[in-house]
Structure formats: C-alpha cells, structure tokens
Amino acid sequence: MTQPPSTVFLIDVDNTLLDNDRVIADLHAHLEENFGAESSARYWDALEALRTELGYVDYLGALQRYRAEESRRGMSDSRLLLISGFLIDYPFAERLYPGALDALKHLRRHGPTVILSDGDVVFQPRKVQRSGLWDATDGRVLIYVHKEEMLDAVAQSHPAGRYVMIDDKLRILSAMKAVWGNRLTTVFVRQGHYALDAQAIAAYAPADITIERIGDLINFDFPST
C-alpha cells in the first residue's frame, strides 16, 4: 500500500483563491443593467431565501425561483436565459487573486493540495473548472453543503497524518479545529467581506496562522511529505 502523505493542504475557493465578492458585484451590475434595480432586488431576495433553506448559496436555484416570479410579471424566458449564460460562462480565471496559483504551486512542494469548498453540485464545480483551480489541484476537489461537518469523508478521501486548512472564514476554521485539534493547522486569509467583518472575527479564537492575502503563503514553509 502507498504510504499516505504526512500533510495534505485543504484550500477554500470563494474569497480565498478567487475574488467572489467581485463576481457578485459583476452579477449585481449585470442584473441592474439588464433588468432594473427592482427586478434585480427580487433575484437577491430569492437567493437569500434559498440560502436559508439549503445552508449554502445556490445561484442557479435562485434563478429558477426568480424565473417563476418574473414570468408571472411578464418577463420573457429569452431574457432570463441571458442570466444563466452570464453565470455559466463567467470568466472565473480572471477573478483569481494575484498569487493564487503561485501559492498552490508552493504548497505542492510540501504535500497534495485539495480544493475543499461549500456549494451546489453544478455551479460550484463549474466555477472551480473555469477558474483553472481544478487542473491546478489535479482534480482533487471536494464540494459539500457544510464542509466542516464532513471531516471524516475528507480524511477518507485524502488520508494524511496532518492537515492544513486555508480559508477566509474563522467560523469554518474554528469548527474544524474543534474536531481535529493539533492534527490541523489553520490558516486565516483576510480577504473578502467575511474576513473583514470585525464582529465575526471577534467571535472566534485566532487561527494558527493569519495572512493578509493568499499570495503571502509562498513565504511559509510547511513540513514536507
């Protein structure tokens, strides 16, 4: 049997490797430009309602709800199809943070890199593929509804003596640390609106390592495999 690596690096996507706040801002602008502020607001209402029900952001599922509502208001399906095209064909590779791919390359010198993300089973994988992150991690991609609740599955898919989790949410890092303890090194990346929310940060203990941007990872050496 092949000996498991000593360390596996688990890396979040949204606002960790990829500027998802910028993606959302572009979608806001697209909706308002093509459908107006009032109609755009109804889409975001549908998205938040679905997030409450499912526990994750489902852009395409919200679009289905939005479609039903807007169709009752007389909007044509052909216009709505433009929104799905915007989402599916979005240039995610252009939204990678500077240094994101260099950081993954640096980590690979010390152990396997694995994308560990929350999301749906259609749009989130599409984002990972079109951004180039799927290929950058050789297809080692895990996407769950609540990744912090799936650590047994993570360990089964990618066994290792130790793990490093890199994320923009202290809540996620704290939940994983509570389960894995010293087996896990947490890295908090202060990017995106969640990472800059002072109230959210104050609610949790600091991560083992805090960096200001994902590109800063190249300055850290980790135990080799």
pTM above 0.85, yes or no: yes
Q: Is 187 helix (H, G, I), strand (E, B) or coil?
A: strand
Alpha carbon distances (Å) from 210 to 1, 28, 29, 194, 201: 36, 30, 32, 14, 12
Could you give the CA distance from residue 212 to residue 191 in angstroms, rounded to a whole number?
A: 7
Q: Is the pLDDT of residue 106 over 50?
A: yes
- Among residues 94, 129, 130, 136, the alpha carbon closest in space to that of 114 is found at 136
Q: Is the pLDDT of residue 97 over 90?
A: yes
Mean pLDDT, residues 87-113 taken together: 96
- At 110-141, the pLDDT tens digits run 999 999 999 989 999 999 999 999 999 999 99
- At 79-89, the pLDDT tens digits run 677 788 888 89
